[in-house]
Amino acid sequence: MSDIKAESFTSVIKANNLVKNYGAFIAVDGISFDVRQGGFYGLLGPNGAGKTTTMRMIYQVTPLTSGSLTILGLESGKESRAIRARLGVIPQIDNLDEELSVRDNLIVYARFNDIDNETSKRRADELLDFMELSHRARSDIRSLSGGMKRRLTLARGLMNNPDLLILDEPTTGLDPQVRITLWNKLEELRRKGVTILMSTHYMDEAERLSDYLYIMDHGKIKAKGEPQDLVRRNASRDVIELRLDGLDSHELMQWATSQQLDVHQLSADRMTFYTENGYSLSEALIEHGIDRKLIYQRPGNLEDVFLSLTGRSLRE
């Protein structure tokens, strides 16, 4: 991993009023954003928010309908081949070649990127070591676990020593241990100066990894900023989660309205209150006859921001 490079681009990606339509359906609706050299940027949003379409426009698979998009100083659509040569793309689904060994998946991919044989072998060995896959270099792809396949897909995306690494929902379907392992690898890459853009719908992933976030919904950017700044600007200081556990939710809602409380019933068994003073609200609930054991207080977090901006209904 000694030759991952970093060039001094002011904006690695610059999108201005970016639009993508599929007939009458507007998938991406006039978004503008910037990705700076060396940062870890996150696109956060629910299913159907427009994240994947945005990513596909960036890595030159989907043409934009209107607006402007430059990547590494090159114009999207007009210089697509040059752009693709400088990107590392990690798609949602591992599309490894099952007819090749682990190491050969990397070497053959390198040849598609016009990397000479000696360099491709050296890079493959370095990346297998970095991803802790050296012991499986000769293994059949079908014998790998899901986590190993994901790490190998990430290694493949780094074979061309990219100026920009793009990850489209990289940990979807992975178990917690594998997710944490992959997060650690991405954090190592960030420390080495690799510029990263990641789409995700996982709050913990976005908050842990991203230096800067764009929250998308219905094809638009709803908010942007550093994760903790987004929480400070868009969420209450404290959140009270009340387990209903047989309580009359209708009566509680009436009481909350009379107290002018910000309340959301997120499920049949839980009511959530947003407040700047969790202690005072907890005491008020207890005075109203609520058992203290049913009250859970926590700080506002990115999930609260996400729900306030994108709504609370389930989307498939």
Write down the domain spans for the chain.
1-86+166-178+190-233, 95-161, 236-300
- On the question of pLDDT at 307 being above 90, the answer is no
pLDDT at 112: 86
Q: Which of 29-33, 182-186, 301-305 has the highest mean pLDDT?
A: 29-33
Q: What is the mean pLDDT of residues 258-272?
A: 84
pLDDT > 70: percent of the chain: 95
pLDDT at 269: 87
Question: Same fold for the domain at 1-86+166-178+190-233 and the one at 236-300?
Answer: no
Grade residue 313 by pLDDT with cuts at 50, 70 and 90: very low
Domain spanning 236-300 has what CATH number?
3.30.70.980
Domain spanning 1-86+166-178+190-233 has what CATH number?
3.40.50.300
Segment holding 282, helix H or strand E: helix 278-287
Closest CA to 125 of 2, 226, 252, 38: 2
Q: What is the mean pLDDT of residues 15-28?
A: 97
56-71 pLDDT, tens digit each: 999 999 999 999 999 9
Grade residue 175 by pLDDT with cuts at 50, 70 and 90: confident
Q: What is the mean pLDDT of residues 110-139?
A: 94
Q: Identify the bridge partners of residue 223 per DSSP, sorted by sequence position.
A: 215
Q: Identify the bridge partners of residue 70 per DSSP, sorted by sequence position.
A: 14, 75
- 40 residue type, one letter: F
Alpha-carbon gap, residue 99 to 32, rounded angstroms: 42
Residues 6+ apart with CB under 8 A from 87: 58, 59, 71, 162, 163, 164, 165, 166
- On the question of pLDDT at 4 being above 70, the answer is no
- On the question of pLDDT at 316 being above 50, the answer is no
Q: What is the mean pLDDT of residues 286-315?
A: 85
